[in-house]
Each structure stands twice: as structure tokens, then as C-alpha cells.
Amino acid sequence: MRKIWWKILCIVIIFYVIIMGFMGPVPHLPILNETIRNTYFHVALWLAMTILLFAAMIFSVKYLRAGRINDDDIASELTKSAIFFGILGCVTGSAWANFSWGDPWPNDPKLNSAAVCLLIYLAYLLLRSSFEDDQRRARISAVYNIFAFAVFIPIIYILPRLTDSLHPGSGGNATFGSFDFDSNIRKVFYPAIIGYILLGMWLAELRIRIKVIKRIREEEFIESSHK
């Protein structure tokens, strides 16, 4: 029970977010109207993605310091979970943009920055697939992962604020918190971030277990072939 409590918590939170996200009270504002419910999905997914990418970067640093392949496994799988959330964030964001701005993908700096960041991390996956040796793949991809996160933060959170953007908090626009982030939103939004982070960790853990099993089987096969 001690090992699965956080998984139970994840399930409870996700169900809570889905139910309250579609049925809970929200502020009714011009233009946004009911689409503000996407805050629980689009915005929360991207924040969870950022936290998972930060954690992956930390484990990449740990690998470079200690050389433990397990740290690379954690870094790569957390990154994959983050990429998955990023894709979901783009899909939900496009749906929101279509209703609010009349275009699923307008020429907006924030949206274009999100696409660039996803391409950077998709390149990380391609880089990993180009090496067969575990240690070499881990070493090179760890360095790439660190620099990718260092580029990700300014591209997605700083540069869009320096130019005109439709997104709240960018280009002189007010942030959500300044005009419509009321207590009803907060009751669902913050648990949503926690739930998505736990879900990303859960997905990463499952894939890490598969990697470990494959590695053990390969070692057993090599040992048996030498006998």
C-alpha cells in the first residue's frame, strides 16, 4: 500500500479534475465563456510538462555525474511523458484557440514557440534512437537534454512576453490571475497540475520497468550463449 498510494491519489485527482472540469462552476466572461474550462487541461498540462522536463534535466545531470544507467532511464522516460503532455497541450490549445480566436493555429508567437519546443524534444528522441550502445546513448542524450531545457524556458516563457501575443500574460496582455482566476478555478486547476505530474511519473515508471526487464533478459541471453 505504501508504494501505490500516490497512484491511487493520481486516479482520484484525475477523476475529480474531469468531473469538475466539465461540470463545476466557472466565471462566465466575454469571449471565453465556457471555454475557460480548458484551463484545467491545456494550461495545467503545459505546466505539468514543464515540471517533468525539469525533473528529466535533473536526472540527466545525475547521470553525467555518476554514470548510472538508471538515471538515464528516468530522464528519458520523464521526457517522453512530458512530450506526450505537450502534444495534448497543443491539441487542447488548438481547440481553445478555434473557439476564442476563430483559428485553431493563428500566427501567434506563443503557439509557434510551443511547436519549436516540441520539435526540439522530438529531436531528442531521434538522437537516442541513433545509438545502440547504452552508455554512449545516455551520455550524449543527457547533454542534449540539459541544453534542450535551457533553450525551452526562454523560448516558451520569456520570448513570447517580449512581443505581441494573443495569450494572456504575453505581449502586454493581462494574466489569467489578474481578472478571472477565481477560487472555483483554483480548486480544480492546482489539483489538475498535481494529477498530471503523478500521471506522467506513473507512465514513466511503467516504461522504466519494461526497459529493466528487457535489459535483464538480454543479459541472461548473453550469459546463456556463452555457456
pLDDT of residue 170: 58
Fold of 5-226: Four Helix Bundle (Hemerythrin (Met), subunit A) (1.20.120)
Lowest-confidence pick of 73-87, 116-130, 187-201, 208-222: 208-222
The pTM of the full predicted model, rounded to 2 decimals, is 0.90
Task: List, for residues 166-175, the tens digit of each pLDDT value.
Answer: 676 555 555 5
Instruction: Read off the pLDDT band of 37 (50, 70, 90).
Output: confident
Residue 49: is its pLDDT beyond 90? yes
Q: Region 109-118: what's the mean pLDDT?
A: 90
pLDDT of residue 172: 53
Residue 151: is its pLDDT beyond 90? yes
The greatest distance separating any two alpha carbons of the chain, rounded to the nearest whole angstrom, comes to 74
All structural domains of the chain with their residue ranges? 5-226
Task: List, for residues 6-24, the tens digit of each pLDDT value.
Answer: 999 999 999 999 999 999 8
- Output the nine-digit C-alpha cell for 138: 545516455
- Output the nine-digit C-alpha cell for 129: 534512437
Q: Region 194-198: what's the mean pLDDT?
A: 97
Q: Region 124-152: what's the mean pLDDT?
A: 93
Top pLDDT among 113 and 220 is at 113
Q: Which residues contact 29 (CB under 8 A, 6 or more apart)?
A: 36, 179, 180
E strands present in 141-220? none
- Output the nine-digit C-alpha cell for 62: 545525475
Residue 179: is its pLDDT beyond 50? no
| Side chain identity, residue 185 | I
Provide the 8-state DSSP code for 155: I
Please state the separation of Cα 98 from the chain's center in Å. Answer: 22
Closest residue by Cα to residue 56 from 158, 144, 159, 172: 144
Residue recorded with cell 526497459? 211
Closest residue by Cα to residue 159 from 123, 111, 90: 111
Give CA–CA dist 118/220, Å, rounded: 37
Instruction: Read off the pLDDT band of 223 (50, 70, 90).
Output: low
Would you say 14 and 75 are in contact if contact means Cβ atoms under 8 Å apart?
no
Backbone angles phi, psi at 27, to 5 degrees: -70, 135
Give CA–CA dist 77/46, Å, rounded: 17
Give CA–CA dist 167/173, Å, rounded: 7
pLDDT of residue 161: 78
Would you say 53 and 79 are in contact if contact means Cβ atoms under 8 Å apart?
yes
Task: List, for residues 53-65, the tens digit of each pLDDT value.
Answer: 999 999 999 999 9
